[in-house]
């Protein structure tokens, strides 16, 4: 009997269904309000005066002429900041406004608030900065030289990590084959559709409300409190509709809001600050450029015996998020493979360039490009099919990762590889494409990855989530949680989880946008944690309410609470289906009996650990897995690549919404395609040469390949309905799969990203093939 009930309750009505995005209609018809759509009485327009040198001493900032301009209300420099001149991120090294020295082009020096945007822009021109230019350091290799000027700490190293397992030297001695190569990757700009934007509104009793386009409201709350000196209890951050983030709105809004809040504080007026695209590209974070030296040892039969990695990130002028980005990259440096002997050394190095930060994948796409290229080189060297080599080394349940973590559950990796091979007709195409002659050559390539879901041991103090759920007398439900909808479908997925948990209709659940005054600090919306963490907190709250309702319903239906099923807005006795009541009838009765119909939910991330000396431990509590197989056609006379198809198989545990999950994967693939082939931020001596979308190119719908998505649902026992995370794994394998396919097509390999037509052309030319 017991068993039968469990089966019934496991039947899912809303979770696992492709529910339409709750925010889709308003966004499609243009009704949704973004930050620039909002206006407040008396609102001023903010602008930021920025450095034009990569490194210079500031002698004087003369604001007198700007202040005298009609319509200008405030011109502020570092000394006018009411609180600390510091943006709190992980370490405190970055001032809100540079005071004595500027460290990158685009660094903020002064702020203007004026009655119109145009006046604010005019005022910027009137601020005179007297600089003493200093020699900039713009490459991490230069920065590491003894002779380099010291621009960060004693040695220009922002952070370093090491990971040690077994003994690599003996591992290489055991190897029949050793592959050693160096890889380089470039910047990637997020190009979220909506640039950065914040409105700060001073309120009564010295309070301040921040409306903004952002991922992490609790970060912004802390930063605003820091720079204004206002207590966190009087700073309220409300996220408005946000036009994309991809990590670019993780830390950056903390300083955009900092500027805006300081202006609002000093003028006592609402202030709006919206970045132009150029300003956004010049001054906000990007994916770190990287240098990866990779050495892989293996047996003739394919088993990895040793992996040694040196991973260097170009951090830019301040630490911002380089610390966790490098950590994640270090932990993932070996890929989803078993290997007994591992040595990883990683460094994030300061340069006089815009600080790099979070970007979907967070320090992993760079090392994935390296380890997946290495796997193909190894396969070639020992004459093994790339799929077979990966299957031979791929992690499965009971195996140990590079950090010595034993994977106890939810490891769908091998199935992603097998299914991707099958769906893409790998073996047939691999053979047929190899035989092609002529100008257009085709190739097929694979890349496979794992991804530690949520913040892991490095961010464990932040890894928690809260929710607040209210059921109203009409049977409708409101859910508050403070992870953000940034285009990924988060609110829809949370509504599905709440609806399934309470057994109410999906349409009867409304999920509010994040507001720091309502929900306790739930950490950031990053690390593919937007489903798992708040989902568990929402289930927790729903369970509490359901328990109270069940007590009432059991009485009404003359049974015990254990026999009740809450489903699709109805409540019934499992032994008497069809003779139940409506959910709202139960709610009404409970309401009249003065039952508390609101509850708070809470979830703390499961155990994680990390030993800083050895890198060993359980850095993440669970992993998602993914395999992408890309097919390309390369014009060997011009180097132009057309990506024909990407087959993507993901294990992200139970998929709450297959439509939004597929959307994530498709978007990730396109972003990964741009990273692989097109997106090239050109920088010279600290100057970005193409800070606009005419010259920095991202893929358009016309560049999109055919995409086939499939899910392996290896459920995770501590996730909501078995879910893990999908956002970042979506992009992680793509670039490496495309580059492996290009290499299969042309018979030579490109060792740096992006693989532009020119780079491919010269690689072919240099190889002496096709002459």
Binding stretches for other proteins (CB under 8 A): 33, 36-41, 45, 117-118, 121, 211, 272, 274, 276, 278, 637-638, 640, 678, 682, 689-690, 692, 694-695, 697-700, 702-703, 756-758, 761-762, 765
CA distance 229 to 113: 20
Q: Pseudo-torsion of CA 298, 299, 305, 306, nearest 10°?
A: -30
Q: What residues have CB less than 8 Å from 167, skipping those under 6 apart?
A: 341
Task: Tell me the two tokens of residue 544.
Answer: 């509490």
What SS3 class is residue 590?
Answer: helix
Nearer to other proteins, 644 or 697 (CB): 697
For residue 48, the cross-strand partners are: 111
Which residue is associated with the tokens 């504080």? 265
Nearer to other proteins, 575 or 762 (CB): 762
Nearer to other proteins, 615 or 691 (CB): 691
Nearer to other proteins, 268 or 692 (CB): 692
Task: Tell me the two tokens of residue 44.
Answer: 């001023």
Compute the least distance from the CB of residue 47 to other proteins, in Å: 11
H helix runs in 332-454, sequence order: 364-382, 386-393, 413-423, 426-434
Nearer to other proteins, 98 or 201 (CB): 201
For residue 264, the cross-strand partners are: none
CA distance 72 to 290: 43
CA distance 483 to 336: 28
CA distance 554 to 576: 13
Structural contact between residues 65 and 129, judged by C-beta atoms closer than 8 angstroms: no
Compute the least distance from the CB of residue 438 to other proteins, in Å: 13
Nearer to other proteins, 350 or 750 (CB): 750
What SS3 class is residue 373?
Answer: helix
What SS3 class is residue 624?
Answer: strand
H helix runs in 292-346, sequence order: 322-331
For residue 612, the cross-strand partners are: none
Task: Tell me the two tokens of residue 122.
Answer: 């005019």
H helix runs in 601-753, sequence order: 658-673, 734-746
* Buried-state track 203-216, b at ≥16 Cβ within 10 A, e below 16: eeeeebbbbbbbbb
| First-residue to last-residue Cα distance in the chain | 75
What SS3 class is residue 337?
Answer: strand
Compute the least distance from the CB of residue 136 to other proteins, in Å: 21
SS (H, E, C) 650-673: EECECCCCHHHHHHHHHHHHHHHH
Nearer to other proteins, 280 or 415 (CB): 280
CA distance 377 to 253: 42
* Buried-state track 129-161, b at ≥16 Cβ within 10 A, e below 16: bebeebebbbbbeebeeeebeebbeeebbbbeb
CA distance 215 to 720: 21
Task: Tell me the two tokens of residue 367.
Answer: 């090392």
Task: Tell me the two tokens of residue 619.
Answer: 């850095």
The single-letter DSSP state of residue 241 is B
CA distance 677 to 758: 10
CB atoms within 10 A of CB 435: 7
Nearest 5°: phi and psi at 308? -130, 130
For residue 471, the cross-strand partners are: 477
Compute the least distance from the CB of residue 260 to other proteins, in Å: 14
Q: Torsion-angle region of residue 686: left (phi > 0), alpha (psi -120 to 50) or beta?
A: left
């Amino acid at each position: 009997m017991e068993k039968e009930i469990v089966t019934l309750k496991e039947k899912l009505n809303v979770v696992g269904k492709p529910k339409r995005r709750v925010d889709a209609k308003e966004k499609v018809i243009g009704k949704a309000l973004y930050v620039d759509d909002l206006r407040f009485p008396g609102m001023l327009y903010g602008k930021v005066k920025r450095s034009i040198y990569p490194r210079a001493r500031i002698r004087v900032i003369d604001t007198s002429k700007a202040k005298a301009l009609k319509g200008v209300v405030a011109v502020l420099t570092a000394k006018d900041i009411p609180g600390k001149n510091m943006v709190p991120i992980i370490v405190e090294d970055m001032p809100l406004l540079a005071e004595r020295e500027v460290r990158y082009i685009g660094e903020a020096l002064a702020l203007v608030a004026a009655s119109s945007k145009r006046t604010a822009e005019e005022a910027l021109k009137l601020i005179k900065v007297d600089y003493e230019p200093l020699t900039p350091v713009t490459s991490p290799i230069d920065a590491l030289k003894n002779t380099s000027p010291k621009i960060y700490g004693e040695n220009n190293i922002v952070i370093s990590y090491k990971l040690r397992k077994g003994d690599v030297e003996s591992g290489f001695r055991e190897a029949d084959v050793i592959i050693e190569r160096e890889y380089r990757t470039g910047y990637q700009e997020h190009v979220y559709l909506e640039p950065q934007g914040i409105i700060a509104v001073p309120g009564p009793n010295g309070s301040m409300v921040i409306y903004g386009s952002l991922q992490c409201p609790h970060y912004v709350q802390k930063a605003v409190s820091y720079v204004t000196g206002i207590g966190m209890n009087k700073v309220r951050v409300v996220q408005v509709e946000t036009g994309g983030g991809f990590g670019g709105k993780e830390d950056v809004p903390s300083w955009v809001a900092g500027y805006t809040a300081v202006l609002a504080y000093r003028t006592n007026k609402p202030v709006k600050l919206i970045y132009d695209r150029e300003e956004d590209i010049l001054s906000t974070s990007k994916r770190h450029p990287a240098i990866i030296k990779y050495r892989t040892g293996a047996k003739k039969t394919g088993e990895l015996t040793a992996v040694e990695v040196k991973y260097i990130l170009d951090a830019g002028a301040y630490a911002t998020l380089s610390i966790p980005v490098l950590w994640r990259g270090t932990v993932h440096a070996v890929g989803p493979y078993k290997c007994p002997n591992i040595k990883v050394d990683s460094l994030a190095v300061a340069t006089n360039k815009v600080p790099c930060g979070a970007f979907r994948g967070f320090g992993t796409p760079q090392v994935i490009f390296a380890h997946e290229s290495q796997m193909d080189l190894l396969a070639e060297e020992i004459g093994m099919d790339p799929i077979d080599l990966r299957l031979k080394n791929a992690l499965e349940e009971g195996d140990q990762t590079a950090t010595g973590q034993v994977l106890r559950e939810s490891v769908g990796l091998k199935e992603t590889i097998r299914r991707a091979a099958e769906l893409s007709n790998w073996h047939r195409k691999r053979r047929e494409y190899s035989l092609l002659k002529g100008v257009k050559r085709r190739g097929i390539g694979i890349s496979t990855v794992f991804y530690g879901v949520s913040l892991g041991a490095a961010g464990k103090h932040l890894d928690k989530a809260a929710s607040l759920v209210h059921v109203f007398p009409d049977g409708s439900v409101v859910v508050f949680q403070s992870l953000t909808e940034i285009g990924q479908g988060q609110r829809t997925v949370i509504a599905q989880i709440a609806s399934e948990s309470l057994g109410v209709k999906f349409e009867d659940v409304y999920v509010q946008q994040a507001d720091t005054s309502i929900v306790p600090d739930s950490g950031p919306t990053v690390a593919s944690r937007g489903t798992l963490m708040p989902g568990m907190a929402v289930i927790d709250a729903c369970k509490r309410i359901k328990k109270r309702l069940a007590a009432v319903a059991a009485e009404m239906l003359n049974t015990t609470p254990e026999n009740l099923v809450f489903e699709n807005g109805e409540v019934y006795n499992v032994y008497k289906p069809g003779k139940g009541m409506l959910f709202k009838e139960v709610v009404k009765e409970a309401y009249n009996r003065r039952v508390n119909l609101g509850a708070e939910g809470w979830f703390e991330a499961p155990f994680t650990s990390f030993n800083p000396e050895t890198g060993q431990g359980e850095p993440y509590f669970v992993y998602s897995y993914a395999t992408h197989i890309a097919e390309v056609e390369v014009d060997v006379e011009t180097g132009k690549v057309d990506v024909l198809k990407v087959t993507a198989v993901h294990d992200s545990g139970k998929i709450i919404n297959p439509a939004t999950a597929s959307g994530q994967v498709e978007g990730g693939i396109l972003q990964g395609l741009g990273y692989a082939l097109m997106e090239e931020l050109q920088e010279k001596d600290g100057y970005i040469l193409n800070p606009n979308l005419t010259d920095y190119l991202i893929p358009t719908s016309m560049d999109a390949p055919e995409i086939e998505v499939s899910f392996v649902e290896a459920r995770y026992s501590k996730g909501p309905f078995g879910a893990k995370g999908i956002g970042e794994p979506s992009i992680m394998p793509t670039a490496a799969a495309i580059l492996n396919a290009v290499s299969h097509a042309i018979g030579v390999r490109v060792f740096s990203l992006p693989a532009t037509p020119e780079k491919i052309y010269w690689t072919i030319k240099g190889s002496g093939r096709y002459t």
